[in-house]
Amino acid sequence: MDYSYKDYQQLLQEVREKTDFKPLIGVVLGSGLGDLVDDVKVVATIPYGDIRGLPVTTNKKHKGQYIFGYLDNIPIVIMQGRLHCYEGYTSQEVVLPIRLMGMMGIKSLVLSNACGGINAAFKPGDMMLIDDQIACLITSPLRGHNIDEFGTRFPDMSDIYDIKDTDKLYQKAKELNLPVKRGVYMQFYGPQYESKAEVRMARILGADACGMSTAIEAIAANHMGIKTMGIAFISNMACGITNTKISDEDVVKEAAKNRKPVAILMKEAIRILANGK
């Protein structure tokens, strides 16, 4: 579906009928990475299905709801569960919840995901701060008519993940002795995991990790002028990097085991973005 600005205004009205909370920062929680919610003073929760016109997640491991509240007195909105192209949604539909957070008033965004490591120096349990991305295999969420109220027809993507704040987060992570790397993330459609040849291709193109989300969300956020940071949790090594078979259950289990350090890193990212320095 090709959405108009009026469509987004109607979606915002749906939200405002349920809460007048105005977040400063948006957060997207990846699969199994839910501990951050425990530290939030929750003000309101809105399931996606309660917002007329908003697609709902079909992944049973994703709750599919907005959570509004405060973290250290910072007003935030959390997407607990995201949409994916593999569910049959278009790129425009996938980023609709991101754009809606922009309409709610967020100035910054923290994207997280559970993904496969391609870089041989990585291991499951590591966290990768995303420095850049490869999304050329996915249909752009900006395809179709441009919504001028959101941004220019041809937006620059030279600093998709804010480099200054990413540097600050990396330094803080090192101070906290967190297992943090940096690298390039590549998005595939899914839902099947990547083949050995596809992982070799991704490595040749310069990717350090790959998954089925995040990159097109970052494109949409940048189009709207929303400062973005990305945290990719390495839940497994991508196909062919090791001889281990990949399963959704193992990915979620690995993420669940490491929810605490991921939550710590995400909280630091939120604090850095809130300070705006």
Q: Alpha-carbon distance 237 to 217, whole Å?
A: 23
pTM here is: 0.96
* Digitized pLDDT (tens) for each residue of the chain, 277 residues in all: 789 999 999 999 999 999 999 999 999 998 777 778 989 999 999 999 999 999 998 876 668 899 999 999 999 999 999 999 999 999 999 999 999 999 999 999 999 999 999 999 999 999 999 999 999 999 999 999 999 999 999 999 999 999 999 999 999 999 999 999 999 999 999 999 999 999 999 999 999 999 999 999 999 999 999 999 999 999 999 999 988 888 888 888 888 888 889 999 999 999 999 987 5
What per-residue confidence (pLDDT) applies to 58? 84
Q: Alpha-carbon distance 262 to 202, whole Å?
A: 25
The answer to whether residues 183 and 128 touch, using CB atoms and an 8 Å cutoff, is yes
The answer to whether residues 78 and 25 touch, using CB atoms and an 8 Å cutoff, is no
3-state secondary structure of 129: strand
Domains in the chain: boundaries: 5-275
Is the domain 5-275 a CATH 1.10.3720.10 member? Answer: no
Secondary structure letter of residue 65 according to DSSP: E
What per-residue confidence (pLDDT) applies to 33? 77
Q: Alpha-carbon distance 66 to 48, whole Å?
A: 7
What per-residue confidence (pLDDT) applies to 152? 98
What per-residue confidence (pLDDT) applies to 61? 67
What per-residue confidence (pLDDT) applies to 277? 52
What per-residue confidence (pLDDT) applies to 86? 95
